[in-house]
């Protein structure tokens, strides 16, 4: 038997010290149980719903493209390869992220125009245009998106060519363009 001292920091900000005598096997079991209870408490928010804290169960994706894509009017940019696609919520064939969980999400993207060409894109939330990226001038230019959105389950997020313009998004084996999104809070 050994003396067990555990310092606990609860979400309320209160600190408790618990002293007890027990064997190390029981000590480890108690510690695991306490951690489990703290995680459950953190996830409830007092509303009885638990947030799953496991990284592979949280909606998150990073998609990229390593080839040029010619875009006709209002066509969606298809980031056709993924590095991360938890819950398979991003569809590489359509270029659309469909939210599997309601919550607050962060989305970002980097896009590149062909040398000397204009590129005008919007990030869409369902049928609502949100942020825009416009690049023009000499050489290859990069544009970015960085936005936080309240998203409902089954909402769709995607990047689409503006208006009637035929445009070209540039990328190659260096994967210059990316599109990412992840759940911040439920």
Residues 175 and 182: their CA atoms lie apart, in Å, by 20
CATH code reported for the domain at 55-185: 2.60.120.40
For residue range 159-184, list pLDDT tens digits in order: 998 866 678 888 888 888 999 999 99
For residue range 49-86, list pLDDT tens digits in order: 555 557 778 999 999 999 999 888 889 999 999 999 99
Residues 61 and 82: their CA atoms lie apart, in Å, by 7
For residue range 97-106, list pLDDT tens digits in order: 999 999 999 9
Please classify residue 15 by burial: count the beta carbons closer than 10 Å to its beta carbon, then call 0-12 exposed, 13-18 middle and 19+ buried. Answer: exposed
Q: To the nearest whole number, what is the mean pLDDT of the chain?
A: 80
The model's pTM = 0.70
Please classify residue 121 by burial: count the beta carbons closer than 10 Å to its beta carbon, then call 0-12 exposed, 13-18 middle and 19+ buried. Answer: buried
Residues 77 and 58: their CA atoms lie apart, in Å, by 24
């Amino acid at each position: 038997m050994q003396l067990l001292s555990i310092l606990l920091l609860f979400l309320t900000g209160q600190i408790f010290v618990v002293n007890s005598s027990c064997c190390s096997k029981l000590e480890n079991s108690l510690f695991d149980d306490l951690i489990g209870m703290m995680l459950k408490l953190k996830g409830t928010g007092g509303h009885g719903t638990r947030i799953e804290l496991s990284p592979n169960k949280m909606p998150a994706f990073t998609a990229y493209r390593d080839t040029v894509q010619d875009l006709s009017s209002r066509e969606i940019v298809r980031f056709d390869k993924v590095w991360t696609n938890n819950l398979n919520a991003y569809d590489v064939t359509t270029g659309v992220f469909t939210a599997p969980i309601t919550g607050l999400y962060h989305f970002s993207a980097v896009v590149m125009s062909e040398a000397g060409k204009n590129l005008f894109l919007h990030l869409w939330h369902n049928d609502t245009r949100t942020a825009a990226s416009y690049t023009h001038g000499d050489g290859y230019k990069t544009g970015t998106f960085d936005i936080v959105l309240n998203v409902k389950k089954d909402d769709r997020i995607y990047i689409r060519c503006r208006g009637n313009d035929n445009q070209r998004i540039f990328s190659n084996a260096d994967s210059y363009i990316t599109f990412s999104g992840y759940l911040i809070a439920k």
